[in-house]
Amino acid sequence: MKETKNKACPVVFLNRFLSRGQTTKHDIQDWLDTIKFGLHITIEPTPWAPVVDDEVRQRLRQVEMNINRKFIGNKFSKFKDWYDRFWYAGFFEGQGKWRHSHVLLYLPYQRMNVVGNHNYRRMTVSRTFVTEWFQIPSINYLGRRKDISTPYTQKIKRKINSVRCSRYDSKELHNKDAYEDYFFSTM
């Protein structure tokens, strides 16, 4: 191997923004491609009443818990396998008042206590998600209720559509500061 004048290694420049322990965008996307998500949820921006990232995370955590309780039962937290309960991967996108998030929700069809085909179960969970989302009050810094945007839910029917949604949602992970912009439920 030919030595360079400044003794720089090209591998260092490839991932110069990653610290030890962080994974690359392609590793995360490859892992997401292996999972068949059931719902794609977009929480749209509200320029007149922006929502803080932490509030979105807390709302999603509470909605996830309520959905698990409703469709699986109270013992869902004792399940060791992730695929036996509802969980999500979320991605923030945009800046300022146009910031919004995309959420991929995994549905454990084999554990759900709803009778019907997969399409009916996706529709039921989608409606329940929106209902649970609105039942959580959103309060501004003065203690008054504020408007919250309606989550837009799309049903993912095929594995190829799940891969496309996960690739679309994780497209911003190559940015230098993007490691604060994706989050997972408490699995």
Q: Is the pLDDT of residue 7 over 50?
A: no
Q: Which residues partner with 183 through β-bridges?
A: 90
Q: Is the pLDDT of residue 131 over 50?
A: yes
> What are the structural domains of the chain?
22-184 (3.30.70.1910)
Q: Is the pLDDT of residue 57 over 80?
A: yes
Mean pLDDT of the chain: 81
The torsion of the CA quartet 2, 7, 10, 13, rounded to 10 degrees, works out to: -170
Nearest one of 86, 102, 119, 122 to 164, comparing CA atoms: 102
How would residue 71 be classed by pLDDT, with cut points 50, 70 and 90? very high
Q: Is the pLDDT of residue 51 over 80?
A: no
Q: How many angstroms separate the CA atoms of 107 and 122, rounded? A: 8
Q: What pLDDT shows up at residue 83?
A: 85
pTM above 0.85, yes or no: no
Q: How many angstroms separate the CA atoms of 117 and 42, rounded? A: 24
Q: What pLDDT shows up at residue 186?
A: 67
Q: Is the pLDDT of residue 169 over 70?
A: yes
How would residue 182 be classed by pLDDT, with cut points 50, 70 and 90? confident
Mapped onto helix, strand or coil, the DSSP state of residue 3 is coil
- Specify the DSSP element, H or E, that contains 104: strand 100-106
Higher pLDDT, 177 or 182: 182
Q: What is the DSSP string of 43-79?
A: E---TTS---HHHHHHHHHHHHHHHHHHHT-GGGGG-
Q: What pLDDT shows up at residue 120?
A: 93
